[in-house]
Amino acid sequence: MPELGALSLRLALPVALFGLAAAISAGVAKRPQWTRVSERAVLAVAGLASFAMLALFVAFANNDFQLSYVAANSSRNMLLGYRLAALWSGQAGSLLLWLWMLLAYSSLCVILQRHQNRHLMPWVSAVFLANASFFLVLLIFVTDPFQKLSPAHLLSDGSGLNPLLQHPVMLAHPLMLYTGLVGFVVPFAFAFAALVTGELGNTWFRVTRRWTLFSWLFLSIGILLGGRWAYEVLGWGGYWAWDPVENASFMPWLPATAYLHSVMIQEKRNMLKTWNLLLIGLTYTLCLFGTFLTRSGIVQSVHAFAQTPIFTSIFLGYVLVTALGFLAALFYRRGELSGGNQLESVVSREAAFLLNNWAFIAILVVVFIGTLFPVFSELLGDRQIVWGPSFYNQLLGPFGVFLLLLTGVGPLIAWRRASPVLLRRQFTLPVAAGLGIGIVSFGLASREITSWTLTDLYGVATWGVSAFVATTIAQEFWRAIRVRRRRGGENVLQAFGALLRKNQQRYGGYIVHLGVVFVMIGVAGSILEEEHLENVEPGGEVVVHGYRLQYLTAEPIPAQHHGGARARLALYRGDRPLGVMLPEKRMYWLQEQPASIPSIYSTLREDLYVILTALENDGSATLKIYRNPLVNWIWIGGAVFVLGTLAVLWPHPPRTGGARAEPQTG
């Protein structure tokens, strides 16, 4: 079957190239029959790629160690679920997954659009098939997942998957990321088609609204799951280290988020057309660039794939061609994009959205420069210089607080121009709540922070601004619910449900914003984080912020594929027992890889995070202990964020002409 999988990829490339030629011919010569040919080519290539995926899955399931890729990423002792997940754990398999997801999106799109937007579809298909052709070239000529080992190098067992990746979260995290990253090809394709055809109205983004939201949701889930995996498995006490691979997924998320906000201005006020096209083009280009970054070997990361110079050159070239091609089309249509309404007042919702765009772009520039600075420094000097988390935290802190502030300000300001009376009515309660919580937060934080830094001030400001935003959201919901209750006699829950059904974009968006507030509250909690390194003898105790850890004993780990030890620690809050913590120090024999598995005691207020760093010859244990305040609000906020996005995406009956308009409280 591997031979058939390899053959299917080789057959897919000429079909994709033929379909690409047909799509371009249909677009240039306005020949609808060739559009159909290109769409059938998309479906045919998708079928061939699906067979290749199936063939590789079968190879992993059956432990076919004749294949170099299977031997390098799997072993017989792995559970079936992890063996199958190993398909996307390496270079070739992850690119095959990207190709398959690209074609799945492409196929669904051409099927749903078979009777609509026929003037755009030739160029949409061309984008799909050009991308598919590129990945097919990589899989056939550069990194073949079906390459066989020579008889002299055959193994009875494989090398196995990195033990740190054998975690339930890692079964889903890469799939979520890929579903998000690859999905942006659909809005990108329609945006490019709009530029080529000159159809620059609202059709292209209305067609792709749900595609964009869907991709953005899954990219967000992937980022959150990655943070959770790092927190539970890597054993360094945190969830985000500004690692280049983390940044590779975060960078496209930034312009995508800006686009989802900015496109509402085009729909409402016929403004920011150039912005919106630029943002969606930047988003997909960064999706490709992030894939290049993690697979080129130009940056150092525990997540990165090593690769050959030819791979780096080909992939970087394709990223540049994609970016320059889109920018050229945008430049060509610049005159047609310059019309529309103008900004009437700096105190307006339009101005808030424009500031939102600039803030996201500023954050993107900082992250981009910080991620690639080691490369630039090596080109200009003789060594790589890496900027750590403090660089990002200090530079991005004010932008983060500013964006959070805009999250609350936007809904309170009217379109076009806000009057002083409306501003006073809208802002009085939220501003009072924000100032009150900010002052209280500063007072409480001063009990623990003796030497203040800029990062600490950003954290306290975040709590105050979070109170401001949460109050604006509650105020908007309460006013709208009160209006519905007066008009129709609905109870609170009925009115709340009606708001989500009839204006899900607005009120679902508020729930998303509330999730962001919770996440930011949790992130700001890091300013109160404590770290302790203690050596404890059996029977000894460590006291950390009211917690008491008593070291009982250490015991060996009776596992087949790794050795090590587990420390048993009795946890008390004062004299009240809370449980037993079991941090582990492991050594995986096959991979010769050490690992520290933390033990975590969680509450809504804080986590106590314990790492066993060493067992000494005298029987004592060296422990690294973190107190992470408010960290669980990040995961709570992530869940609320997802629920809010689902509320926006959830299908609902179209409004009828006689439907009553929703109350507008902003």
The per-residue pLDDT for range 557-575, each reduced to its tens digit, is 877 677 889 999 999 998 8
Q: What's the confidence (pLDDT) of residue 653?
A: 59
The answer to whether the CB of 499 falls within 8 A of the CB of 662 is: yes
Q: What's the confidence (pLDDT) of residue 664?
A: 41
Task: Work out the average pLDDT over 437-451.
Answer: 93
Q: Is 253 left (phi over 0), alpha (psi -120 to 50) or beta?
A: alpha
Least confident segment among 178-192, 419-433, 530-544: 419-433
Least confident segment among 46-60, 290-304, 502-516, 612-626: 290-304
Give the amino acid at 73.
Answer: N
Place of tokens 């409306």: 422
Residue 44, C-beta contacts closer than 8 angstroms, at least 6 positions apart = 12, 15, 19
Q: What's the confidence (pLDDT) of residue 208?
A: 93
pLDDT digits (tens, 9 = 90+) for 487-521: 877 888 989 988 888 888 889 999 999 999 999 99
Classified as helix, coil or strand, 84 is helix
Q: What's the confidence (pLDDT) of residue 661?
A: 42
State pTM to two decimals.
Answer: 0.93
pLDDT at 379 over 90: no
Give the residue, 166 or 439, on which the prediction is more confident.
Answer: 439
> Residue 654: which pLDDT band, with cuts at 50, 70 and 90?
low
| Averaged pLDDT score across all residues of the chain | 89
CB atoms < 10 A from the CB of 560, how many? Answer: 7
pLDDT digits (tens, 9 = 90+) for 195-205: 999 998 889 99
Q: What's the confidence (pLDDT) of residue 662?
A: 44
The answer to whether the CB of 67 falls within 8 A of the CB of 43 is: no
Give the residue, 594 or 136, on which the prediction is more confident.
Answer: 136
Task: Work out the average pLDDT over 12-19.
Answer: 97
Q: What's the confidence (pLDDT) of residue 308?
A: 65
> Residue 658: which pLDDT band, with cuts at 50, 70 and 90?
very low
Q: What's the confidence (pLDDT) of residue 659?
A: 41
pLDDT at 59 over 70: yes
pLDDT at 373 over 60: yes
pLDDT more than 90, % of the chain: 61
pLDDT at 416 over 90: no
Q: What's the confidence (pLDDT) of residue 303?
A: 52
Q: What's the confidence (pLDDT) of residue 112?
A: 95
Task: Work out the average pLDDT over 169-185.
Answer: 92
pLDDT digits (tens, 9 = 90+) for 88-132: 888 899 999 999 999 999 999 999 999 999 999 999 999 999 999
- C-alpha span between 480 and 478 (Å, rounded): 5
> Residue 301: which pLDDT band, with cuts at 50, 70 and 90?
low
Q: What's the confidence (pLDDT) of residue 558?
A: 77
Q: What's the confidence (pLDDT) of residue 560?
A: 66
pLDDT digits (tens, 9 = 90+) for 582-593: 999 988 877 778
Q: Is 72 left (phi over 0), alpha (psi -120 to 50) or beta?
A: alpha
pLDDT at 351 over 50: yes
Q: Which long-range contacts (CB under 8 A, 24 or more apart) does 109-117 make?
A: 109/186, 109/189, 109/211, 110/39, 110/42, 110/43, 111/43, 113/207, 114/39, 116/207, 117/190, 117/203, 117/207
pLDDT at 300 over 70: no
pLDDT more than 70, % of the chain: 95
- C-alpha span between 110 and 129 (Å, rounded): 12
Q: What's the confidence (pLDDT) of residue 652?
A: 66
Least confident segment among 245-249, 254-258, 561-565: 561-565
Q: What's the confidence (pLDDT) of residue 36?
A: 95
Closest of 209, 184, 175, 158 to residue 102, by C-alpha: 184
pLDDT digits (tens, 9 = 90+) for 601-653: 999 999 999 999 998 888 899 999 999 999 999 999 999 999 999 999 987 65
CA 193 to chain centre: 26
Give the residue, 8 or 559, on which the prediction is more confident.
Answer: 8
Question: For the packed helices 632-649 and 504-524, what is the interaxial angle rounded to 10 degrees?
Answer: 170
